[in-house]
């Protein structure tokens, strides 16, 4: 209800005293933060500028041209020739849901290799779809061997096997070589979560034989969250076409989305053009830097961070051979209030880092050096701030 002559709600219309009245809402002025957590990561200024361009209609030929550019750039970054390469409107979880919901029907078998929070999520989400999930678990921070994956797939004979390439909850990087061959030999599809790896760590969709992969715009691709790149192999698309029922969720139906992105462009949803601009510009930056140089930058800055943390007497959670260059887990020293350190980093230094999840809650901090955030200056600033806080306590 509005009072006459005003579009603002009358004072006594407010249901509770806590409800903010429009007149109290100040112009947007978010605090400045250096985002060195598990995501989102700092957004490159060129991506920020791209987002400020005026929106376009979702069927405008100019926007469709930008989608085609984006698909092409994504194929390059995913290292695939898959025609079905696009971005789902939504965050990384939307990509996970789109891939699993498009591939799996109720009753379909799925082996999930879970050694962390996101592996567990894949299993949970697939169960909701009605898939028959076989979960293979390992301690958080470990990775799976080819033999372990093969044994699970041979025993369960599933429709697909899913694995997290870079497990953001633990900091462990899963070796992917040979997994596609194993899955295919047993008639299964290989699904990979590449949310924290794409654009920061080598990803070889075709080389590894991955049939379906998803990522997110806000980790190593240097954009804001809101777009989830997805790619499907011809084999995955055949499996989708052979479904007896339509995909789990209409909005996340990858065949409908492929039609909109790369087919006859039939209206599916009103894609957010600023987010398309952002993803396209983020991908242009990746290609401009060159993938090899970008991976090398992520590796070099991560190694500097690891050396610095160890020099401070801190222990890294993951064995050197399996660390993700874009996400480091460092153990919280005995007697330190981990939450207080994160709060002080944020309030005194404007730096965000992440807390541990699940069994690692309270035990590790998670430090992301992703995309535009992977800079030597950021490593030095974080190390100095952390050393200062740990010395002062
Ligand atoms: C961040 C992340 C997700 C989820 O992405 P959202 O953008 O938060 O929805 C999934 N998997 C992994 C490995 C991630 O790091």
pLDDT tens figures, 224-267: 999 999 999 999 999 999 999 999 899 999 999 999 999 999 99
Q: What contacts 228, CB < 8 A, 6 or more positions away?
A: 87, 88, 89, 90, 91, 92, 93, 94, 95, 96, 98, 214, 215, 216, 217
How far is it, in rounded angstroms, from Cα 170 to Cα 138?
Answer: 12
Angle between helices 273-289 and 61-78 (to 10 degrees): 40
| % pLDDT > 90, the chain | 93
For the residues 39-63, what does the mean pLDDT come to? Answer: 98
Which atom of ligand 1 is nearest the CA belonging to 167? Answer: 13
Select the more confidently predicted residue: 188 or 24.
188
Pocket test for ligand 1, best of 90, 92, 100, 224 (most atoms within 8 A of CB): 92
**Residue closest by Cα to atom 14 of ligand 1:** 195
Ligand 1 touching residue 225 (CB < 6 A): yes
Torsion of CA 314, 39, 143, 128, to 10 degrees: 140
How far is it, in rounded angstroms, from Cα 211 to Cα 258?
Answer: 15
Q: Which of 282, 283, 281, 249 is nearest to 268 (CA)?
A: 249
Report how far ligand 1's centroid is from the alpha carbon of 27 (Å): 31
Average pLDDT, the chain: 95
Q: What contacts 15, CB < 8 A, 6 or more positions away?
A: none
Which atom of ligand 1 is nearest the CA belonging to 216? Answer: 7
Pocket test for ligand 1, best of 196, 217, 326 (most atoms within 8 A of CB): 196
pLDDT for residue 4: 45
Q: Is the pLDDT of residue 10 over 70?
A: no
The model's pTM is 0.94
Q: Is the pLDDT of residue 8 over 60?
A: no
Q: Is the pLDDT of residue 1 over 60?
A: no
**Residue closest by Cα to atom 3 of ligand 1:** 92
pLDDT for residue 2: 39
Q: Is the pLDDT of residue 50 over 60?
A: yes
Q: Hey, which residues does 113 pair with through a beta bridge? A: 136, 163
Computed from CA positions of residues 66, 67, 72, 74, in that sequence, does the dihedral angle turn out positive or negative? positive
Report how far ligand 1's centroid is from the alpha carbon of 260 (Å): 24
Pocket test for ligand 1, best of 41, 117, 168 (most atoms within 8 A of CB): 168
pLDDT for residue 5: 46
Report how far ligand 1's centroid is from the alpha carbon of 41 (Å): 12
pLDDT for residue 150: 98
Report how far ligand 1's centroid is from the alpha carbon of 122 (Å): 11
Q: What is the pLDDT of residues 289-323, one digit of tens each?
A: 999 999 999 999 999 999 999 999 999 999 999 99
Q: Is the pLDDT of residue 14 over 60?
A: no
Q: Is the pLDDT of residue 82 over 70?
A: yes
**Residue closest by Cα to atom 8 of ligand 1:** 92
pLDDT for residue 48: 98
Q: Is the pLDDT of residue 22 over 90?
A: no
CATH class entry, domain 45-287: alpha beta
pLDDT for residue 3: 41
* Domain boundaries along the sequence of the chain: 34-41+290-392, 45-287
Ligand 1 touching residue 325 (CB < 6 A): no
- Return the CATH fold of 34-41+290-392: 3.90.1150
Using the 8-state DSSP alphabet, how is residue 88 labeled?
E
Q: What is the pLDDT of residues 169-218, one digit of tens each?
A: 999 999 999 999 999 999 999 999 999 999 999 999 999 999 999 999 99
For the residues 100-112, what does the mean pLDDT come to? Answer: 98
Q: What is the pLDDT of residues 331-380, one digit of tens each?
A: 999 999 999 999 999 999 999 999 999 999 999 999 999 999 999 999 99
Q: What contacts 148, CB < 8 A, 6 or more positions away?
A: 113, 136, 138
Q: Is the pLDDT of residue 382 over 80?
A: yes
Q: Is the pLDDT of residue 274 over 50?
A: yes
**Residue closest by Cα to atom 6 of ligand 1:** 92
């Amino acid at each position: 209800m509005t009072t006459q002559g005003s579009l603002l709600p009358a004072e006594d219309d407010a249901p509770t005293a806590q409800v903010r009245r429009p007149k109290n809402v100040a112009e947007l002025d978010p605090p400045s933060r250096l985002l060195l957590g598990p995501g989102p990561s700092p957004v490159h200024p060129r991506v920020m500028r791209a987002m400020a361009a005026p929106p376009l209609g979702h069927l405008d030929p100019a926007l469709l041209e930008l989608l085609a550019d984006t698909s092409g750039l994504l194929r390059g970054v995913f290292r695939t020739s898959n025609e079905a390469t696009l971005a789902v409107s939504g965050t990384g979880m939307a990509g996970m849901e789109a891939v699993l919901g498009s591939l799996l029907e109720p009753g379909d078998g799925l082996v999930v290799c879970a050694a962390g929070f996101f592996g567990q999520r894949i299993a949970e989400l697939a169960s909701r779809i009605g898939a028959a999930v076989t979960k293979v678990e390992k301690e958080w921070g470990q990775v799976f061997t080819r033999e372990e994956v093969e044994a699970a797939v041979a025993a369960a004979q599933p429709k697909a096997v899913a694995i997290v390439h870079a497990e953001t909850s633990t900091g462990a990087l899963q070796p992917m070589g040979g997994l596609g061959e194993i899955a295919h030999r047993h008639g299964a599809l290989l699904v990979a979560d590449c949310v924290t790896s794409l654009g920061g760590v080598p990803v070889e969709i075709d080389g590894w034989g991955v049939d379906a992969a998803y990522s997110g715009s806000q980790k190593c691709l240097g954009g804001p969250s809101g777009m989830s790149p997805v790619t499907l192999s011809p084999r995955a698309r055949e499996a989708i076409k052979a479904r007896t029922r339509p995909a789990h969720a209409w909005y996340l139906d990858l065949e409908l989305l492929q039609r909109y992105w790369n087919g006859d462009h039939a209206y599916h949803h009103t894609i957010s053009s600023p987010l398309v601009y952002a993803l396209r510009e983020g991908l242009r930056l990746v290609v401009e830097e060159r993938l090899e140089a970008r991976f090398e930058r992520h590796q070099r800055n991560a190694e500097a961070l690891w050396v610095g943390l160890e020099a401070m007497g801190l222990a890294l959670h993951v064995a050197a051979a399996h660390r993700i260059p874009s996400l480091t887990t460092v153990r919280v020293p005995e007697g330190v209030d981990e939450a207080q350190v994160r709060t002080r980093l944020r309030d005194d230094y404007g730096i965000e880092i992440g807390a541990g999840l699940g069994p690692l809650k309270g035990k590790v901090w998670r430090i992301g050096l992703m995309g535009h955030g992977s800079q030597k200056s950021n490593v030095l600033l974080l190390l100095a701030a952390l050393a200062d806080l740990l010395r002062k306590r």
